[in-house]
Amino acid sequence: MLYELALPGLLLQGGYRWLRTAWRTTPREPALRLRSARARLRRAEIGLLDRTAPVLAASLLLRRFHRNQSEAPMAVMPQRADQTVCSGNCFRRHGVYLRQLGPVDGPRVLLIHGWNADGRMMMPLARALADQGLRVAVPDLPGTGRSEGRPRSFVALALILNKLFLNEKTYDLVIGHSAGGLIAMIALGQGLKAQRLMTISAPSSLARMMDLYLRFTGQPARTARALLGRYENVCGRPLAAIGPSECREMSIPLKVVHAKHDWQVPASEAQGICAAREGLTPIYLGNCNHRTVLHHPELTGLVVHFLQETSDREAPHASYR
């Protein structure tokens, strides 16, 4: 009886998080156990610093946020002066590892992966698009996967992408998954040449991205506020404006796709992207989550249709008013 009366209050007061933690099973694999233990120690360290020096805690947390972009290690390939051919259609340019698939004369598509991932996550979609006759490029962002470089802010990553593809032909389509959608928006705002943009399960702004990260990792409030202020200084702009500003100023066609049951980046974020620009309606894909949306059987068709439905228009480069 008391349990039945208390349960609603527990849920309202954050009891759900406690119950979820209590029911969570300990990983059996040694590597996952080590990672779980390391995560607990890191949270404890931030919690201690939050009580004594929240600014220092924010600095440490921001460095870890950037480092998480390269949490999935891969063997580092040797590099020559500027560009080293690795194997087949994979090579390194200016330290960035780049995969290319599909016929060389097909429509050009650039896939940008998200945070805490690398280009391998995009490969199922890349192969499906290549089978449809598209020429697909899949980079590992700097500091991730097989790419060199230290972890950087999203704004800095977008700037590196622009330099990497400065002398490339205009891409027919840029696709960004999760934070990669946000990076793609920023890159287009900085001058990346493309005729279309598609975001997949992307956050609506950099502020929302950081807010989701802080909530998901359960960071203390004082440290979270200090982190947002520090990251805003790093980016040189208000975090809430990074994303919506680029979306409003963009003159190229934009398609917003989101996993209907996404628990990492809520589906409501798609509405936030569309709210920044008139005439946009999000497309929701069912029976998938944040990661499995890239394997959704309808996604390839959406990409091909997007290219076809805009091919009759003379879509300009990523120009801004």
Segment 231-267, tens digit of pLDDT: 999 999 999 999 999 999 999 999 999 999 999 999 9
How far apart (Å, rounded) are the C-alpha atoms in residues 312 and 282? Answer: 22
Looking at residue 296, the DSSP 8-state letter turns out to be: -
CA 45 to chain centre: 26
CA 269, 274, 275: angle at the middle one, nearest 5? Answer: 95
CA 4 to chain centre: 41
How far apart (Å, rounded) are the C-alpha atoms in residues 272 and 282? Answer: 10
Average of pLDDT values for 46-65? Answer: 87
By three-state DSSP, how is residue 102 classified? coil
Residue 87 has pLDDT above 60, yes or no: no
Is the whole-model pTM more than 0.75? yes
Cα radius of gyration (the chain): 21
Residue 92, CA atoms < 13 Å, CB-side half-sphere? 18
Identify the pLDDT of residue 82: 41
> For residues 46, 48, 52 and 53, what is the CA-based torsion angle, rounded to 10 degrees?
-10
Least confident of 25-34, 112-121, 140-149, 285-294: 25-34
Residue 140 structure tokens: 């590992």
Q: What residues are paired with 92 via a beta bridge? A: 84, 97
Q: What percent of the chain has pLDDT over 70?
A: 80
How far apart (Å, rounded) are the C-alpha atoms in residues 294 and 259? Answer: 9
Residue 288 structure tokens: 């998938």
Identify the pLDDT of residue 45: 81
Task: Answer whether 201's CB lies under 8 Å from 257's CB.
Answer: yes
